[in-house]
Chains A and B, each alone.
Chain A
Amino acid sequence: MEEEKKYKKVSYWSVVWSQFKKNKVALWGLGAIILLLLQAIYSPFLSLDVPLVYSVEGTTHFPFLVELFNKNRFENTVDILFNGIMVASPFIVALWFVLKKVLSFSTSKNLVIFIGFLILVCILSSVASENTKMGNKKYKDEIAAAKADGKKVSAIFPLMKWSYKETDLEGRNPQAPSAKHLLGTDATGRDVLTRMLYGTRISMTIGVVAVSIYMLIGIVLGALAGYFGGAIDLWISRLIEVVICFPTFFLILTLAAFIEKRTVFHVMILIGVVSWTGVARLVRGEFLRQRGMDYVQAAIALGISRAKIIFTHILPNAMGPILVSATFGIASAILTESSLSFLGLGDTTAPSWGGILNVGRQQGKLWLILAPGFAIFFVVSVFNLVGEAIRDAMDPRLRQ
């Protein structure tokens, strides 16, 4: 007993993490990703045309919370879902704390409960948005009118008073950057900074969801091929060979053009459905390698079910390369989506960075080109940076 206490239990992932931490630039990158996620979630506090609180002649209104689920104000489902997550975020943090510290389940169990809760929040918020029948009420006009009438009015707005679809027709659009619009407006008079902020949501969702879709397909097919071998492997390998030859980007373009009412979700599904081959090959290789190892043989000998061996024994050991390719995958999915929007084949109503850049190109206005361009560049390079750092951290040859 005395002997054992001397050695601290070190898991594979804690080794990887300690290696990762040594790379300062990558740590900054990880911090940037977290910041971007927070910015995406809390965008309504940064910019929205709804006051948090306002009072007219002593009666106080709190329109903010309800308006978050107003489909007429947020025309994108992505925004409704993010708003739901924003409202639920204190509970999410509390849940995480309870799971981690109080119940101390295993990490995978925690993760399943956590993701389940997130999905529940998303479903609830979309249900809530279906049931609200609010118009696009103009609070700013109302407050200004009340002020003009000489009533006693006070209001607390988010940092900026714009919503991403609201058009400002006071100047000649596109307006150049000014104190009123920090990054100017686009051709129809919508505030560019606000659209950029909400664009983070689109990009993040595209990256995460599209990659999740193709990870799922790739992992399942690759695991089946690698674990069972034989005829299953043969057929799945043939399928991979066939799909690899597809001109991916052109196929996505074509299908996107064929869908009449494109939403961001269509784009995610398209990207997910055509780009799973890399992951499938990776997972297949890993499974082929792990399949012959002693621990798998032991698990088979113990009579553990196949599904359990595949998903709880082998998969965690194959997770490293999968994680690396997922990180790079997010970067390339974001890039693909912005290219699509740039060509006008993305979701035309969504405030996508690629779409803003396209407007900038057509209008020949520098602020409309640089802002979204650097945003895409920043996000893509941050994800690439972190992906490379994880890969290096996992490489035993580079271990310090």
Chain B
Amino acid sequence: MWTYIAKRILWMIPTFFAISLIIFLILNLAPGKPGGTLASGAEGQEASGSSRESYRVFKSQFNLDKPVLFNTRYALSDEQVEKCLNNYANESGKVPMKEVIKSQELLEDYGQYSIPSLIRILKKSEGNQKFRAVVLETLLQNAQRYPINAYAEHLDEKTKKINNEIDIENNQIRTFACSKDASLKDQEKVAQKWYAWYGKHEDRFKYSFWQKVGIFFTDTRFFKYWASLIRFDFGVSHIDKKPVMGKILSKLQYSLCLSVPAVIFAYIISVPLGVFSAVKQNSKFDRVCAVILFMLYSLPSFFVATVLLYFFSQGGDFLKIFPTGGFQSPSVDSMTTWEKTKDIIWHIVLPLICMTYGSFASLSRYARTGMLDVIRSDYVRTARAKGLSEFVVVVKHAMRNGMIPIITLLGTLLPVIIGGSVIIEYIFGIPGMGQLSITSIYNRDYNMIMGIQLISAILVLIGILLSDLLYALVDPRISFK
């Protein structure tokens, strides 16, 4: 048993790695850019200098300036850089705006890797004022290094020292600034400074074979993401820079308040209903039940939710019993515990109905089929023949085996219980996990989306394991050998 569980859990690691790889690739290769408003500012007309700079910092902070999976920028050719520079300089004025911005972004992303090429291009481009201005501008921007772990709360002495050196060097580089319409002579002066600087730091840009291998695999978005994921760190939200995990945990209580009672109610209703209609198979009750359950099963929950809100909420036109949405009243702080509980229950009645009916419709059908499978078996007939009462036969003998399928379903419900329902929470304005998912999608909060996806994937993995284990637990005929 324990070896089986250990084996399954070990299997989860490669599976989880593959899941995260695929989801990461899909998200990063999907069209559009993260960063919400920041990125859209950069996408439109040429953004102002300061917002451009803040977007650049944002990109480096979330590793968005790095290639997604493999980094081959150590072998960046002069032609590639020159092409981007040409597009960015746009001397002819014919390059479309989109292309200009794309080249600008690419140049930014190349960062340190583009320095040797830039220096060589600088040497080559003597006499071309406009082009050279662009080269100098790019150099100034790319030569500055980012401090290590700038956003961490605590830094050890060694990193602090390195960051200090980086700071001093950056300050030195900033003195190389050169205005856009400087004369050729001034440009040449600055260029000489650059040559001197490059001569001093040239070693930094020569990579050994192993360094190249290292860059190829590790200086990428995916590696950086996984490096923190190993420490169970899902990164910070793009929007408010708060840890993803903390945000998810803070929303969990709302979703649990809804989904746990929903699942409990669904089981409480569906088990007796399924058992009863199986025992009285083909009776009128069974048929009516089947039709009703079938209809409930096909009713879309967002429709039911909208109708319930229309008829029973204070925002609707008829019975103004329940609130229009939310989890608690605004005046929650001045309430006693008992009043608070009442308030929450008052708020979650409608969403609870919506969440319950769908699952109990399908659960009852499972319960009925499960019971039908055993009710005709020999041991049940034997129990009846012994003269046991029908109640004992059904409840003590048949039900134990008949309920196996729907007990194992409990494991697969785990992601629903914790993840909540996106639609129900959206309609009723409950600030749980579902709501969080939707807002993070609208805000293009990549780390948040990744975090939610991965946590749900883990829950599915655990859920499958759990239902297999439950199956073995309730059915002694199943063994792990």
Residues of A within 8 A of B (CB): 238, 241-247, 249-251, 253-255, 257-260, 331, 335, 338-339, 342-343, 345, 354, 357, 360-361, 364, 366, 369-370, 372-373, 376-377, 380-381, 384-385
Query: Is B442 interfacial (CB-CB < 8 Å)?
Result: yes
Distance between B363 CB and nearest chain A CB, rounded to angstroms = 16
In chain B, positions 300-331 with a C-beta closer than 8 Å to chain A are 300, 302-303, 306-307, 309-310, 315-317
* Apart from the given pairs A342-B423, A343-B422, 9 other A-B contacts in the complex at a CB distance below 8 Å: A245-B461, A250-B419, A258-B444, A339-B302, A343-B423, A364-B310, A366-B310, A377-B295, A381-B294
Binds A, one of B18-26, B96-104, B134-142, B242-250: B18-26
**Pairwise interchain contact A369-B306, C-beta atoms closer than 8 A:** yes
Q: Mark B414-453, 1 if CB is under 8 A from A, else 0.
A: 0100010011001100000000011001101000010011
User: Which A residues are CB-close (under 8 A) to B461?
Assistant: 245
A198 to B247, CA, bound (A): 42
User: Assuming the A-B contacts A343-B438, A377-B299, are A258 and B306 also in contact, with contact meaning beta carbons closer than 8 angstroms in the complex?
Assistant: no
User: Which A residues are CB-close (under 8 A) to B310?
Assistant: 364, 366, 369
A331 to B426, CA, bound (A): 23
In the complex, what residue of chain A is closest to B12 when comparing beta carbons? Answer: A245
Query: Is B15 interfacial (CB-CB < 8 Å)?
Result: yes
User: Which A residues are CB-close (under 8 A) to B18?
Assistant: 238, 242
**Pairwise interchain contact A257-B441, C-beta atoms closer than 8 A:** yes
How many B residues, CB 8 Å from partner?
Answer: 44
User: Assuming the A-B contacts A247-B415, A257-B442, are A380 and B300 also in contact, with contact meaning beta carbons closer than 8 angstroms in the complex?
Assistant: yes
User: Assuming the A-B contacts A250-B452, A339-B423, are A258 and B19 also in contact, with contact meaning beta carbons closer than 8 angstroms in the complex?
Assistant: no
User: Which A residues are CB-close (under 8 A) to B464?
Assistant: 244
Q: Mark B85-119, 1 if CB is under 8 A from A, else 0.
A: 00000000000000000000000000000000000
**Pairwise interchain contact A381-B298, C-beta atoms closer than 8 A:** yes
Partner of A376, one of B30, B303, B309, B423: B303
In the complex, what residue of chain B is closest to A374 when comparing beta carbons? Answer: B303
A377 to B22, CA, bound (A): 34
In the complex, what residue of chain A is closest to B427 when comparing beta carbons? Answer: A361
**Pairwise interchain contact B427-A246, C-beta atoms closer than 8 A:** no
**Pairwise interchain contact B30-A247, C-beta atoms closer than 8 A:** no
**Pairwise interchain contact B298-A254, C-beta atoms closer than 8 A:** no
Partner of A260, one of B26, B27, B32, B457: B32
Query: Is B413 interfacial (CB-CB < 8 Å)?
Result: no
- Give 14 CB contacts A-B under 8 Å: A238-B18, A245-B457, A246-B19, A246-B453, A247-B452, A250-B437, A250-B452, A259-B30, A259-B31, A260-B31, A331-B298, A361-B309, A372-B303, A373-B307
In chain B, positions 35-85 with a C-beta closer than 8 Å to chain A are none
**Pairwise interchain contact A247-B300, C-beta atoms closer than 8 A:** no
User: Which B residues are CB-close (under 8 A) to A242?
Assistant: 15, 18-19, 22
User: Which A residues are CB-close (under 8 A) to B303?
Assistant: 357, 369, 372-373, 376-377
A360 to B317, CA, bound (A): 14
